[in-house]
Amino acid sequence: MKYLHLIWAALFRRKTRTILTLVSIVAAFLLFGLLDAVRISFAEAGKSANGAERLQVGARLSFIQPLPQGLGAQIAQVPGVRDVAHANWFGGAYQDPHNQIFTFAVSPNYFDVYPEVEVDPEQRKAFDANLNGILVGEVIMKKYGWKIGDKLPLQSQIFPNKEGSKNWNFDIMGVMKSKDNKAFQSQMIVLHWKNFDETTPYNHGSVGWYIVRVNDVNDSDRVARAIDAISANSDHETKTMTEQAATANWIKQLADIGLIVTSIMGAVFFTLVLLTGNTMMQAVRERTSELAVLKTIGFSNGSVLAMVLAESVLLLVLGGVIGLGLVSLISMALPALSGGMITHTSVGAKSWSLGLALAIAIGVVIGALPAMRAMRLNIVDALAGR
Amino acid sequence: MKFLMGLLTFVVALVGVFVFLSLSWQALPVLLVLLALWMLLTHRGQQAASVTAVGLSTLAQRLGSSAVIVVGIAGVVAVLVAMLAMAQGYSDTLRRTGGLDTAIVLRGASAAEVSSVLSHDNAIVIADAPGIAKDDEGKPIASPELVVAANLPMKGGNPEEDFGSVQLRGIGEEAWKLRTNAKIVAGRRFAPGVRELVAGKGAQRQFDGLEVDHEIKLGNQLWKVVGIFESKDAMESELWGDADVVGPTYRPSGSKSSSAVYVRLTGADAFEPFKAALTSDPRLQVDVSTTDDYFSKQSEGTSKAITAIGIVVGAIMAIGAIFGALNTMFAAVASRAREIATLRAIGFRGLPVVVAIMLETMLLALIGGVLGGLIAWLIFNGFSASTLAAGTTGQLTFQLEVAPKVLWTGLKWALAIGFIGGIYPALRAARLPVTTALREQ
């Protein structure tokens, strides 16, 4: 620690070069922070505490296949099941068929299985009382500037109403909120399943999927198997998974985010090692005589090695901290800029520690060669300029 | 003052780069010829050429630091080209699926096939519309198709957990006449009326058990895979079976309905009358578009998103590479300060020096760009990727396409990075006070 001043002076011996190198490092770690935030937000989707105790029961055949309504009562009989709610895909779009808003038709006890979704009790009562009512997620509500009490025309991409038109009209009765908008309901609309089933001539009492809340998280595998056993060998076999597994499966089908992020980061850090490695080599070569002087006045080989290594690690850590700091700033501004559509980007302790570990590792790797060179320096040759 | 000059240079350089990035490839030879003419014909140009030659001859001594520019830029270009190739492959795969002489009819206000339902009666009316090509037997080539989804285990995964969604298309005899590009490459076509399937090559790559004569389980029914087809478009990611068998499996009530009707038109000019006839028919409430239009629209969002991600990542990496290049070239200028000062002392002007250093940087950048493009091409051209495509219920497999257009974009980025990375060192070299530079060291 007492040599920090010396290391710092050596690092900024050539200001332009160090600053230019530093900007490159900052750019690399900025990219690392952003990509890691993306990777983590995908990896942790569905991993909330409540997500583990929820099971999703869908048709084994495919996710677009409906299930019979009677199955709900049978699922409720399975030991270990606490609540059973159900939902249907409505396929909502506002104004333009391509402007999709996720809209589900849900059972009255839907919110029992999603305790993290907050609805004002008054609004909830009003929603329950009005068959044509809907609840709108806070993010969507803000995005379009709707108010409670508004009539909302919503297009279903699939289901016509009684008149055969796919333009439905709903009454906004309340808002679904959640902490930090983390629950997906903050970005969607729910309507009464009863209204949906009675209005569209195509549903005939079928259910899109069931959501089951179990008593004990550790018991969910057994419960899932028991639920699937109910409809085994029928024409509506089910597939039950935890919400977490279902989300992970969905994301995996969307894209191999991990692979993409890893390969980009591989390219970035490979380039970075070469770039900063060159800078360090230059810096040590330039200072050959200075290092020789250090050795002459009594610095041991080991401490010269340590000082050069410390210099390169300091350079990397400095760049890494600035880069990750920038990401933190950006991710704070992002939810505001995107109108609340992006909520999950935050640079957690995990990203920081991984980033810093990488910075130190790269610092050691690129410092190793110049440091060895400095250590093996022959005082007489170096001072003579040979 | 100095700061203002620097800022001005920066703005000018930036504007230049943006103009350059929007150029098409034809402009490059023109620029090169102009440069060559200038170097051959004018006095300054000849000076610039000789200074460049001197600089390049000493390049070998600066191999290590020059490699920083080459590798830095190669990294940027490789990542950028890979991302753009992904967007290109995705949109090309979907675009190839459509054509101007085939049309798709969906129920009104349905954004995609999966959300559309047409009754059997509708399908008959649609097949009667004018402008539809006839087959050898004089029947209109109109194919009512039912699109549903099926869950299948993914290749190389745990069959209980790693399942994916594949689009299952129920088709009739007419579909083969409509999609002349679909060829059976193994086995045979499915027989009508039985639970038999043919699988696309893309789906076969993605999912387990899609081999000729294998049986797969859809729900609680066993279906036999009897053939593999190749169509080199989005259809390759699907399974095809007889609509009259697929229908009852998925839609026990109203089993004769379909999702969409595809028709082959007598020609591209037959589309407008065909559309007019259907939209004015009071029995129907449908949307009509050419398949070209339909599939291009489906690919738009995703390919734009991939391109945007590629450009953002590429831009951040480019910033890193620019500063790496600046570093190297500043060092190069510093080590050649004496040589440059000598040239200026014997009468060389500033411009040739600037041009020489710019050319050296751009040459290194070009090598980096070519290297990066080559790496991307070797690793990623033809690389299979898959995603849940917009407007379908199944995974779409596609291949990354390192097209010439994509490579050209990569090269332009490389040259732009070289340009910005070279301009400041070049200006410094030209402004170096001759006397101090000669006296130093």
CA distances from A121 to A124, A132, A136, A202, B105 (A): 5, 18, 15, 33, 46
Q: Residue A318 pLDDT more than 90? A: yes
The pLDDT, as a whole number, for residue A135 is: 92
Among all chains, which residue has been given the structure tokens 């022959």? A378
pLDDT band, very low/low/confident/very high, at A336 (cuts 50, 70, 90): low
- State which amino acid sits at residue A175: V
Let me know the angle formed at the C-alpha of A123 by A122 and A126, rounded to the nearest 5 degrees: 90
**Cross-chain residue pair A235–B327, CB shorter than 8 Å:** no
B218 DSSP β-pair partners: B221
In this predicted model, which residue has the larger pLDDT, B66 or A62?
A: B66
Distance between CA atoms of residues B40 and B49, nearest Å: 8
In A132-161, the residues whose Cβ lies within 8 Å of chain B are 155, 157-158
Domain boundaries, chain A: 4-45+256-384, 61-236
Q: Residue B6 pLDDT more than 50? A: yes
DSSP state of B371: H
DSSP state of A109: T
B102 DSSP β-pair partners: B264
SS3 content of chain B, % helix, strand, coil (to 5): 60, 20, 25
What's the average model confidence in pLDDT over A15-34?
88
Q: Residue B252 pLDDT more than 80? A: no
- State which amino acid sits at residue A144: Y
**Cross-chain residue pair A20–B323, CB shorter than 8 Å:** yes
B260 DSSP β-pair partners: B145
**Cross-chain residue pair A157–B109, CB shorter than 8 Å:** yes
Q: What are phi and psi of B365, to 5 degrees?
A: -60, -40
- Please return the burial class of A344, using the count of CB atoms within 10 Å of its CB with bins 0-12, 13-18 and 19+: middle
Confirm if A353 and A280 have CB atoms less than 8 A apart.
Answer: no
**Cross-chain residue pair A61–B150, CB shorter than 8 Å:** yes
Among all chains, which residue has been given the structure tokens 């036999």? B224
The pLDDT, as a whole number, for residue B226 is: 92
pLDDT band, very low/low/confident/very high, at B267 (cuts 50, 70, 90): confident
Pairing of strands B183-187, B221-230: antiparallel
Let me know the angle formed at the C-alpha of B433 by B431 and B439, rounded to the nearest 5 degrees: 140
Q: Calculate what percentage of chain A has a pLDDT beyond 90.
A: 17
- Please return the burial class of A316, using the count of CB atoms within 10 Å of its CB with bins 0-12, 13-18 and 19+: buried
What's the average model confidence in pLDDT over A110-120?
88
In A2-61, the residues whose Cβ lies within 8 Å of chain B are 16-17, 20-21, 23-25, 27-28, 30-31, 34-35, 59-61
CA distances from A146 to A150, A174, A177, B274 (A): 7, 11, 15, 41
The pLDDT, as a whole number, for residue A85 is: 92
Of B102, B96, B99, which Cα lies nearest the Cα of B275?
B102
Q: What are phi and psi of B225, to 5 degrees?
A: -85, 120
Q: How far is A245 from chain B (nearest CA, A)?
A: 8
Return the number of other C-beta atoms located less than 10 Å from residue A103's C-beta.
Answer: 27
Tokens of A314: 């300091």
SS3 content of chain A, % helix, strand, coil (to 5): 55, 15, 25
Q: Nearest by CB to A253, which of B165, B220, B323?
A: B165
Q: Residue A346 pLDDT more than 70? A: no
Mean pLDDT computed over every residue of chain B: 85
> How does pLDDT run across A270-293, given as a tens digit for each residue?
888 888 888 888 888 888 888 888
Q: Residue B373 pLDDT more than 60? A: yes
What's the average model confidence in pLDDT over B351-378?
90
Q: In a mutagenesis test of the A interface, which of B285, B316, B424, B428 is the best target, namely the one with the most A β-carbons within 10 Å? A: B316
Q: Residue A172 pLDDT more than 70? A: yes
**Cross-chain residue pair B149–A282, CB shorter than 8 Å:** no
The pLDDT, as a whole number, for residue A341 is: 47
The pLDDT, as a whole number, for residue B255 is: 54
Q: How far is B331 from chain A (nearest CA, A)?
A: 8
Q: Residue A46 pLDDT more than 70? A: no
**Cross-chain residue pair A23–B323, CB shorter than 8 Å:** yes
Q: How far is A277 from chain B (nearest CA, A)?
A: 9
DSSP state of B203: H
**Cross-chain residue pair B110–A158, CB shorter than 8 Å:** yes
Q: Is the dihedral of CA B35, B41, B43, B47 positive or negative?
A: positive
The pLDDT, as a whole number, for residue A50 is: 64
Residue A130 at interface with chain B, using a CB cutoff of 8 Å: no
A61 DSSP β-pair partners: none
Chain B partners of A272 at a C-beta cutoff of 8 Å?
320
Let me know the angle formed at the C-alpha of A322 by A373 and B424, rounded to the nearest 5 degrees: 70
- State which amino acid sits at residue B262: Y
Of A250, A208, A221, A213, which Cα lies nearest the Cα of A86?
A208
Q: Residue A47 pLDDT more than 90? A: no
CA distances from B97 to B90, B100, B104, B267 (A): 11, 11, 12, 17
Confirm if A195 and A188 have CB atoms less than 8 A apart.
Answer: no
Return the number of other C-beta atoms located less than 10 Å from residue B434's C-beta.
Answer: 13
Q: Residue A334 pLDDT more than 80? A: no
In whole angstroms, what separates CA B366 from the centre of its chain?
22
The pLDDT, as a whole number, for residue A249 is: 78
What's the average model confidence in pLDDT over A298-306?
87
Longest dimension (CA), chain B: 95
**Cross-chain residue pair B387–A255, CB shorter than 8 Å:** yes
The pLDDT, as a whole number, for residue A340 is: 47
Q: Nearest by CB to A158, which of B115, B324, B395?
A: B115
Q: How far is A303 from chain B (nearest CA, A)?
A: 27
**Cross-chain residue pair A27–B162, CB shorter than 8 Å:** no
**Cross-chain residue pair A157–B253, CB shorter than 8 Å:** no
Return the number of other C-beta atoms located less than 10 Å from residue B49's C-beta.
Answer: 18
Interface predicted TM-score (ipTM) of this complex, two decimals: 0.78
> How does pLDDT run across B104-119, given as a tens digit for each residue?
988 876 777 877 888 8
Give the three-state DSSP class for A236.
coil
Give the three-state DSSP class for B151.
strand
Distance between CA atoms of residues B218 and B210, nearest Å: 12
In this predicted model, which residue has the larger pLDDT, A334 or B113?
A: B113
Residues present in chain B in total? 441
Chain B partners of A64 at a C-beta cutoff of 8 Å?
114, 148-149, 393
B344 contact partners, CB below 8 Å, separation of at least 6: B350, B353, B432, B434
The pLDDT, as a whole number, for residue B38 is: 86
Chain A partners of B106 at a C-beta cutoff of 8 Å?
none
pLDDT band, very low/low/confident/very high, at A323 (cuts 50, 70, 90): very high
Q: How far is B68 from chain A (nearest CA, A)?
A: 5
- State which amino acid sits at residue A343: T
In this predicted model, which residue has the larger pLDDT, B126 or A2?
A: B126
**Cross-chain residue pair A24–B323, CB shorter than 8 Å:** yes
